Amino acid sequence: MADILVAEDYPATRSVLRTLLRGAGHTVRFAVNGEEALAQVAQKRPDLLLLDVMMPKKSGYEVLGEIRRTDAALPVILLTAKGEKSDVVLGLGLGSDDYVKKPFDGDELLARVSAALRRAGQNAATSASAAQPSAAADISEGRDFSFASFRVDANRLKLIDARGRVKDLFINEYKILSHLARRPGEVVSRDDLLKVLWEGEAYFGTTHSIDQAICRLRAKLGRDGVCIETVYRVGYRYVPPK
């Protein structure tokens, strides 16, 4: 099964997670603060990180931000006792794959862990495909493709401009770009984009996380950001440059 790193400072919660995850056949190791979590990820990359938001030394948000600067693909599920919409949106905006509110239901947590691991496996298989840009069929197979004046590297999750400069993509950003690129000129609703990101799994967030991802993508695309048009109250449309 999977190697799961749990970053959680509360002993009782660690005990519950140890029982749940090992009972499901996973290998479990622990970090009790944010700095230790980063050190363990650097020493041995886990298959999935369960990351408590409120931790000493570095918060879960800080840990997630540092991880995403070098690793866009590591599955990360946030554990949060806050549950406020703004906190959830912040976590998703930083690149978390999912979140679970405390106190959590054991069956739901295991289902979300399984879903995140399954998505990661599917993305890895997709990234291993041969990489030749262009046609919509190629995009759907996870191959490199063009978006505006950029090339999207599906294998490394990179956005590469005409001068060879590289920017990292979160997995959610990559999925949005590929979905829009397959439908140039079409209006794609926020709800449709949520379905693409979560691939049919239960999702309790809001479409505001899509808006945040689009905002980040426009910033990374620079002048080409205008190619992602906002369709009022509906969603977005990709209009390739002429």
Q: Read off the pLDDT of each residue in 42-57 and give the average, rounded to a whole number.
A: 91
pTM beyond 0.95: the answer is no
pLDDT(132) > 60: no
Alpha-carbon distance of 80 to 88, in angstroms, equals: 8
Lowest mean pLDDT among 60-69, 100-109, 132-141, 209-218: 132-141
Reported as a pLDDT band with limits 50, 70 and 90, residue 134 is very low
The residue type of 204 is: F
Residues 89-120 have pLDDT tens digits of 666 666 777 888 888 888 888 888 888 888 77
CA distance 186 to 128: 29
**Which carries the bigger pLDDT value, residue 239 or residue 1?**
239
What confidence score (pLDDT) does residue 190 get?
Answer: 87
pLDDT at 21: 92
Residue listed under structure tokens 């862990």? 113
Q: How far apart are CA 98 and CA 209, in angstroms?
A: 12
Q: How many CB atoms within 10 Å of residue 56? A: 11
pLDDT tens-digit map of 162-205? 888 888 888 788 888 988 988 888 999 988 888 777 665 545 45
pLDDT confidence band for 126 (50 / 70 / 90): very low
Res 4: pLDDT: 93
